[in-house]
Amino acid sequence: MNYPNEKLYPVPELGGETGRALRACGLWLRLGFIGASATAVGLVQLFGGETTPLSPLALTLGGVVLAVVGWRRAYTAIRLADADAPATSAEAPAHAPARTPAVA
């Protein structure tokens, strides 16, 4: 099946180590977001006063731990993928842009 915008939005091939690291990073970021959401729900329950304080405190603490672990692991996955990527040399442009003279 041919899509009309297939050539407008090319998708890079991410089958190697870089793709695996990006998928792992995405999963860890989702886990961190779930932890941050659990933290928010726990704080709302804690300050709402409808339940005993133990349950919201446990939810908040668990959410904070989950968020921190998820975000740190995502950062580590990206750093490892970046370290494994081949280094590219920064080349100078073919011609430097013309400098405009300063107006006095």
List, in sequence order, the alpha helices (H) in the chain: 17-48, 54-84
Question: Residue 39's closest CA among 23, 15, 63, 20?
Answer: 63
**Which pLDDT value is given to residue 49?**
80
Give pLDDT tens digits for 44-101. Answer: 999 988 888 899 999 999 999 999 999 999 999 888 877 766 655 555 455 555 566 6
Give pLDDT tens digits for 5-59. Answer: 666 666 566 667 778 888 889 999 999 999 999 999 999 999 988 888 899 999 9
- pTM score, whole prediction: 0.65
Q: Which residues contact residue 80 at a Cβ distance below 8 angstroms, ignoring those fewer than 6 apart? A: 21
Angstrom distance (rounded) from CA 98 to CA 72: 44
**Which pLDDT value is given to residue 81?**
79
User: How many C-beta atoms lie closer than 10 Å to residue 48's C-beta?
Assistant: 9
For residue 83, report the phi and psi dihedrals to the nearest 5 degrees: -70, -30
